[in-house]
Structure 1
Amino acid sequence: MTTTLLIAGTASHVGKSTVVAGLCRRLAESGIDVVPFKAQTMSNNAHAAVSVGSDTSYGEIGVAQYVQARAAGVVPTTDHNPVLLKPRGDAESQVLIDGRPVGHVPAGEYYERHWGRAREAAVAAYERLAADNELIVAEGAGSIAELNLRHRDLANVETARFADAEILLVGDIERGGVFASLYGTLELMPEDVRDRVAGLVINKFRGDRSLLTDGLDELEARTGVPVLGVLPHEDPGLPEEDSLSLPDNTASTVRGGNDGVAESRAVTIAAVRLPRLSNATDLDPLSRVPGVRVAIRPPDATLSDADAVVLPGTKNTADDLLALREAGFGERLRAFDGPIVGICGGYQLLGRTLLGASRESTGERDSLDGFGLVPVVTRFDDEKTIRQVSRTVAGAGPIDGASGTARGYEIHAGETRVARSLPAPIGPNSVATDRVLGTYLHGLFHTASVREAFVDAVFEHAGRERPGGDGRSVSPFDRAAELAGEIDLTQAIDRTGC
């Protein structure tokens, strides 16, 4: 008999994804056959995963479920996240079921046109996982107590019911009001779902835990639900599930800097906060390198203090190109003389021309001029590439000296043709000049030789000596497992019989 534990939250970004990954690693290492599951995700941070019933074809799942499956030591498949909604701007999302696109719809129409099919797919995926595994750790979405959604809340209420799940409810104390959040969430949950709550977890706590004692005691007395864990405020370094942690299109933020390296010795890699940004997790490995600051900036921000520029992926290349043009970004990028990397949609933006742009854009123009920094032309069609890939690395340009094999994935519309002979350092459809690299490979900087070569090039361009060391020595999975170790699962396990 399969046991299911649903990690639900009082809100988005309270740490559910990290808790699930940590529990998956912790339980797998204790010998339990465990897998992750999230019925429905809304995120533009996606990853290629093995499609249901196939060892050779791929579909898309949320990056958090990909990471959680790896933490559990299992091959990520589309069953781990059967429904994925990818926002593409203008209150519209692409709907993917079992990893494949089924349409683009406004938010309201999703429930009318696709929700029934989505629920069927989620139940079927869950049942396949349940048939082969001892324990399923499911992740909810946002708050489990959204009154306007609970009659069609696939990731929370529906999952709790069709999976017969026990629930751990997570609240974020850093936001303030965690006791009210937990108490109010319990009060607003459907009664049958509230009865499934086995325990409460308080996340992101700083300071002396004993200062919480009175509050914890009263919360337990008022709700009758035990507090099973208070987790310290720590970022284990796992990829973010969605873009909530990123600034909006008008603000900036900096990642990195908790490494003891003085700012005068550090370098700044500017990453453009595209309006329809996707797969921003490609930047994470850079932000963990000592002496590197990844500055995520809006399209109209300066590049004058940057030592390198990265253009990440986008859900809509054509419309983001138009937005960047309006912000004057192209002129600033062409005037920039340091290393530049474009990944996926960012690569397409760096090219000469986008053909078939009306398939991507909300406008009517079929051909758009790119920034012209690499001699490539991209043509859009109705086909979408989704695959995991391994590429032989032949370092050139901003990654000169890199070698070995780069493993990652490609998710993109459009095919890119290189107009003249230039180095292809990351295999077919990549290109490099002396200072610009374009590639479709997501996960590029997870490859140590590529990351090291690029960071070396950035420090050389900045005229600074690179500090020693190379990021974290402890696996992010193990760090997440340490955090999850603060949760007392005894009572939840007693209730489930696991």
Structure 2
Amino acid sequence: MGDALMVLGTLSGAGKSLLVTALCRILSNLGYDVVPFKSQNMSLNSAPSIEGGEISRAQYLQAIACRKKPSVKFNPILLKPEGNMRSQVVFMGKPVGSVSARDYMLSKKEELFRKAMTVLNELKEKHDLVIIEGAGSPVEINLKDYDIANTRVMLYAKAKGILVTDIDRGGSFASIVGTMELLSEREREAIIGFVFNRFRGDASLLKPGFEYLEKRYGKPTLGVIPYVEHRLPEEDSLAEFPKVRGELHIQVIKLPHISNFTDFEPLHWANGVDYVTKAEEIGGDVIIVPGSKNTVEDLLWLRKNGFEDAIIEAHREGSFVVGICGGFQMLGEKIIDTVESKRGTVNGIGLLPAKTVFEKTKRTNHLTAKVLWGPAKGTAVEGYEIRFGRSTSERPFSVITAINGAKTFEPEGAIGKRAFGTYLHGIFHNFVFTERFLNFLRAEKGLEPVSIGRWSIEEEIERFAGIVERNLDVERILGELGL
């Protein structure tokens, strides 16, 4: 049976997801058969697995770092927030219900935990090493008895633990001490050392703190990871929505149930994105209606709060409007939903010639396609779909040429006047397409064309992992694992 290494954090956003990603690539490069695992993740940014189910984007990225096909086994429990303290529960890639936070803690967690540990056992049996990611803080006093994503997993798996903290936020030594003091003696014994993440400056200045931690707990500091500018998706629980106005004013509407907002990362890098929360702010060069966990409810929110009229008026005055997945559905003529919101027939915003019917089975697939929209016509793109809706249009945005590698010919999306919509999550991660889209709009404003560069997630994982490896005592970690 293989070994297990667990990365815990002193708080949400400490850098657990990316440290696991880096470790997956580092150990894979050393020849180990490695897989990631997170028993339970709460995320609005999901991605398709090889089995056709949903997993968190974090475990999807970690699978790529391990050079493995993303599997539901890497993230057996996925909670997708729906608002009002409720979440959709996805187990092994498939929705199994919607519950309140209280009901989930009291009635669902134990059963799902047992099933998730069966999956973990299977992974340990088949691979050299499972690298497990924790969730948030492992020592929240009000939650620890219900926690099935942190130290309970570590002890069950007989895993060695690394505790990571974000020094860029300050208070990192205090947060490590506080976390260690609130761990049980058995949990503390499993911790093999500490990692300080996102450090700016001379690491030698931290030496007195390292000495204090080693004297108090007998645990070394395993690494100080510098602050790294990177293009890898972060975990979304603490995602920020900055208002950045570039030469093109690109606006993304921050819907109440916004999902898969990692779709817009390349637009951040190439130009800047302005997330808007008020109808009176609408009026950019580009207005994007993003994906949604509850399409019809968000459409009605747009309507109630004046966004629909503002979008229509801005479009009339020349704004280009884009819809991604749920946003595409909202921009169409009609939605018939007896599945997600159960509101039946609802009129859409009407900027795209499309009609959508929600079906009970969710499509979760990796897609390759060829774009039909004018300035980027013929561009080959790839992405993924996660949707209940099935849309029809006489003017599709693209033709899907392969689903999970199997050849097909299927129209998707829609083109309108100065508008398009698509089901392709990750469309802007296709840099040839994004360049052509942005330069079409820049030319209209008399701006010089831009090149957003050519790189891949694979290259970025390798670059980031290299930086982590140079600043982490990998040899000591391997020694603790007996590898």
TM-score normalised by the chain length of structure 1? 0.89
| Residue of structure 1 in register with 2:183 after alignment | 189
Distance 1:303 1:17 in 2: 34
1:422 aligns with 2:424: no
Residue matched to 2:274: 295
What secondary structure is seen at the aligned counterpart in 1 of 2:447?
coil
Deviation at 1:268, TM superposition (A): 2.7
Spell out the pairing of 1:65-104 with structure 2 (5 A cutoff). Answer: 65-104=59-98
User: Per-residue CA shift, 1:184-224, capped at 9, x if unaligned?
Assistant: 00110122111100010011111222222222222322222
Q: Which amino acid aligns with 2:243?
A: T
Which residue is 2:479 aligned to? Answer: 494
Q: What SS class does the counterpart of residue 288 from structure 1 fall into?
A: helix
Distance 1:193 1:131 in 2: 23
Match of 1:260 in 2: none
Which runs of 5 or more residues in structure 1 are unaligned?
A: 52-57, 256-262
Taking structure 2 as the reference length, what is the TM-score of the superposition? 0.92
Q: Paired residues, what number?
A: 468
Among candidates 340, 347, 354, match of residue 360 of structure 1: 340
Q: Deviations over 1:83-105 (max 9, x none)?
A: 10000111100001101000000
How many angstroms does 1:454 deviate by?
A: 1.4
C-alpha change, 1:339 and 1:281, in structure 2 (3 Å) is same
Q: Does 1:441 align with 2:414?
A: no
Q: How does 1:20-419 map to 2 (within 5 A)?
A: 20-51=20-51, 58-247=52-241, 252-254=242-244, 266-289=247-270, 292-300=271-279, 302-304=281-283, 306-336=284-314, 337-356=318-337, 359-361=339-341, 365-391=343-369, 393-397=370-374, 400-418=375-393
Contact 1:152 1:158 (C-alpha < 8 Å) held by counterparts? no
State the SS of the aligned residue for 2:201: coil
- Whole-Å separation in 2 of the counterparts to 1:424 and 1:226: 55
One-letter code of the match for 1:481?
A
Q: Is the CA contact (8 Å cut-off) linking 1:403 and 1:450 kept in structure 2?
A: no
What code does the residue aligned with 2:448 have?
A: E
Matched with 1:55 is: none
The 2-side partners of 1:299 and 1:349 are apart by 18
Distance, in Å, in 1 between the alignment partners of 2:475 and 2:195 is: 14
| d(CA) in 1 for partners of 2:391, 2:452 | 37
User: % of aligned pairs identical?
Assistant: 38
Counterpart AA for 1:333: I
Code of the aligned partner of 1:416:
S
Structure 1 runs of 4+ aligned residues shifted over 4 Å read 471-474
Aligned mates of 2:163, 2:385 — CA distance in 1: 35
CA–CA distance in 2 between the matches of 1:396 and 1:467? 20
5+ long unaligned stretches in structure 2: 401-410
Give the 3 Å change call, closer, same or farther, for CA 272–150 of structure 1 in structure 2.
Answer: same
Who is 2:408 aligned against? none
Conserved? CA contact 1:97–1:121, under 8 Å: no
| Shift in alpha-carbon separation, 1:62–1:341, aligned structure 2, 3 A | same
Q: What is the DSSP-based 3-state SS (H/G/I as helix, E as strand, rest coil) of the residue aligned with 2:123?
A: helix
Say which is worse superposed, 457-466 or 231-240, in terms of deviation. 457-466
1:242 counterpart SS class = coil
After TM superposition, give the deviation of residue 423 of structure 1 in Å. 4.1
SS in 2 for 1:253: coil
Residues 166, 172 of structure 2: 8 Å contact kept: yes
Aligned-partner Cα distance in 1 for 2:356–2:144: 43
Q: Which amino acid aligns with 1:153?
A: D
Amino acid at match of 1:165: A
**Please, which moves more after superposition, 9-18 or 217-226?**
217-226
Q: Residue 54 of structure 1 corresponds to which residue in structure 2?
A: none
1:469-484 matches, cutoff 5 A: 469-470=452-453, 475-484=459-468
Task: Quickly say closer, same or farther: Cα 1:463–1:335, change in 2 above 3 A.
Answer: farther
Using the alignment, how far apart are the partners of 1:424 and 1:469 within structure 2?
23
